[in-house]
Amino acid sequence: MTFSVTLSPAAEDDLLHLQEFLLQRARHREDLEIAERALRAIQTAFVTQLTQAPLIHRKAGDGKNPLRRELLIPFGGAGYLALYDILPPDRVLVLAVRHLLEQDYY
């Protein structure tokens, strides 16, 4: 089964925030390439991980909602974390995206 992945407005805002943050920190051409690669890594994880097997990732929060999960996206020395809900029968809704060094999002 293949799942469709949708980003909530908040998750779309998170990606814009991450992009702006990375671009503001860019001092060299290589920094711009790193920013591009980071966003591509997040999008690739959504396509490769969440469309195929969203249930294999760890449960999020207090575990009261077994269909709320977290996707760890490694990148560089840290990475990103995506919070998502699985919506039966075949949808995934990404709720938030954060850098691993940011505060929790739930």
User: In percent, how much of the chain has pLDDT > 90?
Assistant: 69
25's tokens: 């920190």
pLDDT tens for each residue of 35-63 = 899 999 999 999 999 999 999 999 998 88
Using H for helix, E for strand and C for coil, what is the string for the chain? CCCEEEECHHHHHHHHHHHHHHHHHCCCHHHHHHHHHHHHHHHHHHHHHHCCCHHHCCECCCCCCCCEEEEEEEECCEEEEEEEEEECCCEEEEEEEEECCCCCCC
Q: Residue 17 corresponds to which amino acid? A: H
What is the arithmetic mean of pLDDT over 60-87? 93
pLDDT higher than 60, residue 68: yes
For each of the domains in the chain, give its residue range(s) and CATH number, in order of start: 4-99 (3.30.2310.20)
User: Measuring CA to CA, how many Å separate 63 from each of 19, 84, 88, 89?
Assistant: 31, 13, 18, 20
pLDDT tens for each residue of 13-41 = 999 999 988 888 888 888 889 889 999 99
